[in-house]
Amino acid sequence: MRAVTEGQLDSAAGRRAPVTLTEVAARAGVSRATAARALGGYGSVSDAARALVEAAATELKYRPNGMARSTRTGTTSTVGVVVADIGNAFFARCVRGISDAGRARGYGVIVVNTDENVDAERAAVRLLVEHRAAGMIVAPAARTGGSHLAEAQTVGIPVVLMDRRVRGLDTDRVAADNRGGAKLAMEQLIRAGHRRIAFVSSAAGPHGAPPGQHPPVDDLVTSGGDRVQAYLDALSEAAVKDPGYYLRLCPFGEDAAYTATTELLALPKPPTAVFASDSVIALGVLRAVHDAGASVPEDVSVVAGDAPAWSPVTTPGLSSVDQPVYDLGHTAMNLLLDRLNEPDAPWRDVVLPTTFLSRGSIARRARGGRRRLIHQEPLTIEQSG
């Protein structure tokens, strides 16, 4: 049991095959069964035998083969996480919540990207099924066509939907109150006198939708669709004619949002406010506004449907709907692990409240066309449902 030399770690020792339970048993002079019991902590083992086995195990640096164990038990203690883009701060933070909740209960996380592509999602689910993941948490890429998810469930791998919904699929689910949050944001804008309010979202899939057309809101990825719905409802309620006029559903990514916003600002009657569906969109919107030589909020007010970490450091601060992103993941994992314990419990649909963080990016819009800043105070908070 010599200490590892600090100067040079013992990686020159060469590759040796992993130690197996059989070797440990042999070293300890007991049978495999006894060794297994001693290390697995089940059945009954004499203290003497246990000591021998444990000594042998540590001495040989025994590491149980999780794969072999899983073959035998039929399941693993890893859960799959299927998201559109782990590089996106939103999902990254979700995954952190998932990971933390999982670790606390002894589960690891295997992450798969779909890039908002349903085929990739199918492949991801297949991969996870083949891995015999204990369950999976999915932010589905599409509102429909969830047969692969249903299939996973039928082979005993429970699915929890996160942030989004799939039509006709019975699962546990967790999402933020996107509709309520968007409603709060719209109320702020309308109360501040805005009527020409644009909405930029990438919820429409990689190809976007032609501007000016009423899109099939019900088919949008849920989190985005809910926000769009709240947006349209709010406009209708404010008696705005042609509520879809300033709605832009563009492909995913910051650049598409940039383009859409640039076009919006070039309109004969440009919007006086822009609602960015999420923070990636917001980045594109803000860049576009800036590059168009306009400023926030004097020329155009901006709100975001998700509060990025950087919302305090823009000038002015970005007013946004704050979702409990970490909790989204945390809750998803807990829903999943609960389901593993009680496979037949009724489905649960958890909606986490959102808050509206009012910073400086909304200007009051006077009827006569003059504009005045509101919210000089650093931060106000309102909470949804």
Contact residues for DNA, defined by CB under 7 A: 17-18, 20-22, 30-34, 36-37, 39-40, 42-46, 48-49, 62, 64-65, 68-69, 71-74
When the beta carbons of 57 and 250 are compared against DNA, the nearer one is 57
262 Cβ contact list (under 8 Å, min separation 6): 288, 291, 292
Q: Is 100 in the site for a second copy (CB under 8 A)?
A: yes
d(CA 229, CA 331): 25
When the beta carbons of 10 and 342 are compared against a second copy, the nearer one is 10
When the beta carbons of 191 and 290 are compared against a second copy, the nearer one is 290
When the beta carbons of 237 and 291 are compared against a second copy, the nearer one is 291
Q: Are residues 214 and 244 in contact, defined by beta-carbon separation less than 8 angstroms?
A: yes
- Give least dist CB 30 to a second copy, A: 22
- Give least dist CB 11 to DNA, A: 22
Which token pair is 12?
Answer: 């020159």
286 Cβ contact list (under 8 Å, min separation 6): 296, 302, 314, 318
- Give least dist CB 237 to a second copy, A: 31
Q: Is 315 in the site for a second copy (CB under 8 A)?
A: yes
Burial class (CB within 10 angstroms; exposed 0-12, middle 13-18, buried 19+) of 193 = middle
- Give least dist CB 230 to a second copy, A: 25
CA angle 284, 203, 209 (to 5 degrees): 90
- Give least dist CB 245 to a second copy, A: 27
Which amino acid is residue 182, in one-letter code? A
Which token pair is 173?
Answer: 């689910």
Of 81-89, 176-184, 235-243, 362-370, which part binds a second copy (CB under 8 A)? Answer: 81-89
- Taken as a whole, the chain contains a residue count of 385
- Give least dist CB 345 to DNA, A: 23
Q: Is 68 in the site for a second copy (CB under 8 A)?
A: yes
Query: Using CB distances below 5 to 8 A depending on partner kind, what does residue 220 bind out of a second copy, DNA, none?
Result: none
d(CA 216, CA 45): 65
Torsion sign, CA atoms 31, 33, 36, 41: negative
- Give least dist CB 363 to a second copy, A: 16
- Give least dist CB 16 to DNA, A: 12
One of 147, 213, 380, 383 touching a second copy (CB under 8 A): 147
Report the Cα–Cα distance between both ends of the chain, in Å, rounded.
61
Query: Using CB distances below 5 to 8 A depending on partner kind, what does residue 356 bind out of DNA, a second copy, none?
Result: none
- Give least dist CB 78 to a second copy, A: 7
Strands (E) located in 84-214: 108-113, 135-138, 159-162, 172-176, 197-201
**Omega of the bond leading into 316 within 30 degrees of 0 (cis):** yes
When the beta carbons of 53 and 318 are compared against DNA, the nearer one is 53
259 Cβ contact list (under 8 Å, min separation 6): 250, 284, 288
Q: Is 32 in the site for a second copy (CB under 8 A)?
A: no
CA angle 157, 160, 138 (to 5 degrees): 95
Q: Is 44 in the site for a second copy (CB under 8 A)?
A: no
Query: Using CB distances below 5 to 8 A depending on partner kind, what does residue 8 bind out of a second copy, DNA, none?
Result: a second copy
182 Cβ contact list (under 8 Å, min separation 6): 226, 227, 230, 231, 234, 275, 305, 321
Binding mask 244-273 for a second copy (x = CB under 8 A): ----------x-------------------
Of 121-129, 192-200, 218-226, 333-341, which part binds a second copy (CB under 8 A)? Answer: 121-129
Q: Is 29 in the site for a second copy (CB under 8 A)?
A: no
Residue among 107, 177, 217 nearest 323 (CA): 177
When the beta carbons of 91 and 231 are compared against a second copy, the nearer one is 91
When the beta carbons of 21 and 139 are compared against DNA, the nearer one is 21
Cα 90 off chain centre by:
6
Q: Is 160 in the site for a second copy (CB under 8 A)?
A: no
